[in-house]
Amino acid sequence: MKFVVDANILIAAFLKDATTRELLLKEKIELLAPEQLLKEIKPLLKNPKLRKRLKLNDADLYELSNAILSRIEFVPEKIFIAFIKKAISLTAHAEDAPYIALSLALKIPLWSNDSALKEQSAVTVFATGELIKLLK
């Protein structure tokens, strides 16, 4: 199964959430994300407060981030740019638009725990708990 994955899912995987991390690393799930995700996640992983919360040394953080990020196919904006206007109209937060636009362009669901994304009906959004049930 294919899913667009958003930044909050990656953050959850780093924050000692074994379930999210396990799902991200499952081979039967194909994950895609806008290239923007890399720009969002890298500064967060360098944030001292977040790093303290992660309770990972530098080597473990490097290994985990490589394992997680290598599972994701990063899609250039040119693939979904035609859907950005529509996506912006569907979400209250502009930073969520690329995820919705990519889901629209590829016609695949979005994996996100952001409840605001569930308020639109143009793309199917699965929270982690729903994804677990779906994969059983």
pLDDT at 16: 67
Confidence category of residue 51, pLDDT binned at 50, 70, 90: confident
pLDDT at 17: 62
Which among 115, 102, 120, 113 has a CA at the least distance from the CA of 3?
A: 102
pLDDT at 32: 98
Q: Is the pLDDT of residue 76 over 70?
A: yes
Helix (H, G, I), strand (E, B) or coil at 70: coil
Helix (H) or strand (E) holding 62: helix 58-69
Q: How far apart are CA 111 and CA 28, in angstroms?
A: 15
pLDDT at 30: 95
Q: Which residues contact 35 (CB under 8 A, 6 or more apart)?
A: 74, 75, 76, 77
Confidence category of residue 102, pLDDT binned at 50, 70, 90: very high
Confidence category of residue 18, pLDDT binned at 50, 70, 90: confident
What CATH number has the domain spanning 2-135? 3.40.50.1010
pLDDT at 53: 79
